[in-house]
Amino acid sequence: MTTNRPQTLDLSTLRSFVTIAETGSMTRAAERLFLTQSAISMQIKRLEASLGFSVFERSARGMAPTGEGEQLLIFALQMLALNDEAMGRLTSPDFEGLVRFGVPGDIVYPQIPQVLKAFTRDYPRVQVKFTTMGTHKLIREYEQGLQDIVLTTEQGPREGGEVIVTHPLVWTGAIDGSSWKKRPLPLGFASKCAFRAGVTTALEAAGIPWSDQVISENEIAIEAMVAADLCVSAELQTANLPGREVIDHGGHLPELPEHSIVLYCNDKRSSPIVQTLAEYLRRAHN
């Protein structure tokens, strides 16, 4: 009498499978899970080989589960939820408490939501108090001990800051907009925005007149004005903001300086929880 050896579905592979189904892309799934695209591709190939059928259909619009893949997705979601609940309840009690974490609103997307999702999944006993405000206010609150860890956007870090990635600034405006052709050039920045000084310096060096179309504490107001094609702004090259796009100005606007995303986390005063979140942030931006 022969006994068939039971097969086991790998949870890491299932997590990759579910993330591809959610994002429609191996590339985006790899970014979320902090894996390489080749590693995820190999996982899916092994999964399909073990099951004997394809789990995704590939098209110009992205990747979507096949009929069999839809059935697998139901089980995968249940298995991962049970796994995450079990791990959460068994998580070391050393990892519990409160972390106060702040970033400027213009670098929330695309990485921060996925970092917070992964961190709270892995450490469900930790409460994250999340704040968005300008770099200058974040630095002040950090120095006053009101924030445990902050990310900022600066041309150069201050004492105690760690550059985790550097990107050029790019001009952004409304989708198919034309306000970038106006002179004086209408600008829209949040109050005390870290990017404004570099932008106005570049414009003056290029001899391009400019005016402040809107300066507001409310970043949503800036987004609305830019999306309405009433002004232009500048963002990090990696920013993913609604209602606007990188302006293809053909050299009619000056090149802008690079800015860094800087991490402030004082290891001497930080708890292991804070240091762990800092490591998640480093991995997400590298």
Give the global pTM: 0.66
| Reported confidence tier of residue 1, pLDDT bands at 50, 70, 90 | very low
pLDDT of residue 267: 62
pLDDT of residue 269: 59
- In what helix (H) or strand (E) does residue 54 lie, and over which residues does it extend? none
Three-state DSSP class for residue 275: helix
- pLDDT above 50: residue 142: yes
Residues 6+ apart with CB under 8 A from 52: none
Q: How far is CA 265 from CA 162, 239, 278, in A?
A: 8, 23, 7
Residue type, 158: R
Per-residue pLDDT tens digits for 3-30: 566 788 999 999 999 999 999 999 999 9
Residue type, 64: A
Bond preceding residue 110 cis, omega within 30 of 0: yes
What are the chain's domains? 11-90 (1.10.10.10), 97-152+265-284 (3.40.190.10), 166-260 (3.40.190.10)
- pLDDT above 70: residue 161: yes
Per-residue pLDDT tens digits for 85-100: 777 666 666 677 899 9
Largest CA distance in the chain: 88
pLDDT of residue 42: 95
Average pLDDT value over all residues in the chain: 89
Residues 6+ apart with CB under 8 A from 47: 9, 10, 13, 17, 55
How many percent of the chain have pLDDT more than 70?
93
| Reported confidence tier of residue 217, pLDDT bands at 50, 70, 90 | confident
